[in-house]
Amino acid sequence: MASLKELRARIGSIKSTRKITSAMKMVAAAKLRRAQASAEAARPYAAAMRRMLGELAVAVQGEGGVPRLLAGTGQDKVHLLVPLTSDRGLCGGFNSNVHRLTVQTIRRLQSEGKTVRLLPVGRRAMNFFSRDYADLIVDHVSGVSGKEIPFSVASDLGEKINALVEAGEVDVCALVFNKFHNAMTQVPTSQQLVPMLMEEQGAGDVPADNVAQYEFEPDEATILAMLLPRNLQVQIYAALLETAAGENGARMTAMDNATRNAGRSIDSLTQVYNRTRQTNITNELIEIISGAQAV
């Protein structure tokens, strides 16, 4: 049985931990409100970009010279996966869910004879995949966590992906991230970026006579060359905002659970401490009474 001194030290240590987890919970809650608002504000714009380019894709379907960001390279051999995680931990299973979905995708693609490349975003993703899949990593991005995510991060990442696609080094590109649902729920999601999935825009089910007609000025190739890289950056930025909101929500939930668990541990150890102290007092009284009777 632990001594009273050891029990007091353990209770004091857990109380200090509870103060830290409680403070981290409040900080995450404050960041969550701002991150959630940013993620929700970006969704309509990203959806509108996908819908508009989906209609443009139908309009130019079958024509030659379609950009690779829209139609791909025409092959399905090399897949680039871009897992988005946080730079820090202490957020429950937030990062491990992305890791798990990415590993499942890697194994599925490799079993089909496909070549897989990785471009991890976030220190947690880089640390995880550098252990077992270091030979698949072509590049990485860190330092994306913070109060605000600048659009330049998505712009730089989009340029890297675009360069790989245009060089013919990548046939298919997909993001793997946690889509924010609420503070307790983040859904692991895989979103294909290159080539664009027509089903996402719903254009595949729209009759040809109901599709919007566009007149291009100066021409289709120039317009798409401008819009497609921008759309790639917008989709990446929206996913980064979803990741930031999910990270803060997961951290707030994890710290709330840790604070509750610390409180229960303190209550349990306090009961043990009181029982041990009462036992020691009782033993001392018995010794005093026994000594007095012997005298």
Residues with catalytic roles: 91
How far lies 41's CA from each of 7, 30, 239, 280, 286, in Å? 50, 18, 12, 63, 72
Contacts of 66 (CB under 8 A, 6+ apart): 60, 224
Region of 61 on the Ramachandran plot (φ > 0 left; ψ -120 to 50 alpha; else beta):
beta
Question: Are 224 and 56 within 8 A, CB to CB?
Answer: yes
Question: Quick one: which of 245, 252, 246, 184 has its CA closest to 24?
Answer: 252
Determine the Cα–Cα distance for residues 98 and 122; give it in Å rounded to an integer. 11
Question: Are 84 and 177 within 8 A, CB to CB?
Answer: yes
Element (H, E) at 78: strand 78-83
Question: Are 91 and 234 within 8 A, CB to CB?
Answer: no
Question: Are 124 and 94 within 8 A, CB to CB?
Answer: no
Q: What is the DSSP string of 130-192?
A: HHH-GGGB---B----SS---HHHHHHHHHHHHHHHHTTS-SEEEEEEEEEEETTEEEEEEEE
Contacts of 219 (CB under 8 A, 6+ apart): none
Determine the Cα–Cα distance for residues 270 and 195; give it in Å rounded to an integer. 61
